[in-house]
Amino acid sequence: MSKTIKRAFKYRFYPTPEQTELLHRTFGCVRYVWNKALAERTRRHKDEGKNTTYVDTAKMLTAWKQDEESAFLREVSNVPLQQTLRAQQVAFNNFFAKRARFPRFKSRKKSRRSATFQNNAFTFRDGALKLAKTTEPLNIVWHRPLPEGAEPSTVTVSCDSADRWFVSLLVEETITPAPSTGAVVGLDAGLDHLLTLSTGEKVSNPRHERRDRSRLAKAQKNLSRKTKGSKNRAKARLRVARVHARIADRRRDHLHKITTRLVRENQAIAIEDLTVRNMLKNHSLARAISDAAWSELRGMLEYKSEWYGRDLLLVDRWFPSSKLCSTPGCSHVNEKMPLNVRSWTCPSCGTVHDRDVNAANNILAAGLADK
């Protein structure tokens, strides 16, 4: 049965000098409003014992725009400023619900540069997107079409650390579940191989960060030699950011291709419910685990499975998938299984196991048993 979802389509665009200047000012105003509202919320709670709502901060914003010290807020569209107040309210709701930590102040150098426009702050006609207070539409590279008849409800403009400009359009799309298939698969995430399937297939780990490590080291060494605050340092920082962007883009593209194929081919997918954050505390493996991007892989599997009517089966993280013999009728569990042991022979039934394939088979069996 088809269902309607909200989906964001992200595109690269190239702003004019006028648009660049306006958007940079908008980013600065968004950051200023976030920090000022956060400081005021904290002060009111500490000094007056009062909780602050979105309505309260919206009234504050009106007053700030009338103040001479912050009159520059009137130079940009009001909608992104209101949106950042709404985002802050959501952040506090998540904090009070113990789903996230306390909201933090935004840094000019380190925080993400972005601004969100609601449909009353932009026009979209015949493939031309024009933001409030601009005179020309954005020069967007439409590398893929929007769903037929789709009208964006929200537009988010961002500029990454490599100074690349992106626009994300949130639209409603009707998705038809993929044709049913009886195939099921278990996945074992690893470092030697990114994924090992219960079918015996092993997906190679491209190690994008390791492949570009020498290029990254050279760029970072060049950056360290530049004088702080100089134009040459800004150029060197941009070179480092571009290497990081190349790594992230290639990694994301690889993960999208893998997860799309797995969801298309299988009705049910079983994976371990890993706590990657805790695993990163192992400093010997943290860099390799980050490069493998297991959390991003799982996130893609989750939303794609939901979109296309597939079952994602989560297996408890403490399940001894590598130590347990997967041979039917045998339930032998080894006491220890060091990481350097890649194959082992079951002392009970004599079966020779590939460590990763055995783990994938156990994960599949456990996932189907809990379904």
Just list the catalytic residues.
Answer: 188, 272, 356
Write the single-letter amino acid at 68.
E
Beta-carbon-side half-sphere exposure of residue 12 (alpha carbons within 13 Å): 7
What token pair was written down for 214? 């020498």
Query: What element of type H or E holds 130?
Result: strand 128-131
Residue 333 has what DSSP assignment? B
For the chain, how are helix, strand and coil distributed in percent, rounded to 5?
A: 45, 20, 35
Work out whether strand 268-272 and strand 343-345 pair parallel, antiparallel, or are unpaired.
unpaired
- Cα 60 from Cα 74, distance rounded (Å): 14
Could you tell me which of 182, 175, 185, 239 has the C-alpha nearest to residue 212?
Answer: 239
98 dihedral zone (left: phi>0; alpha: psi -120 to 50; beta): left
Q: What does the longest C-alpha to C-alpha distance in the chain come to?
A: 81
Return the structure tokens found at 13. Answer: 């665009």
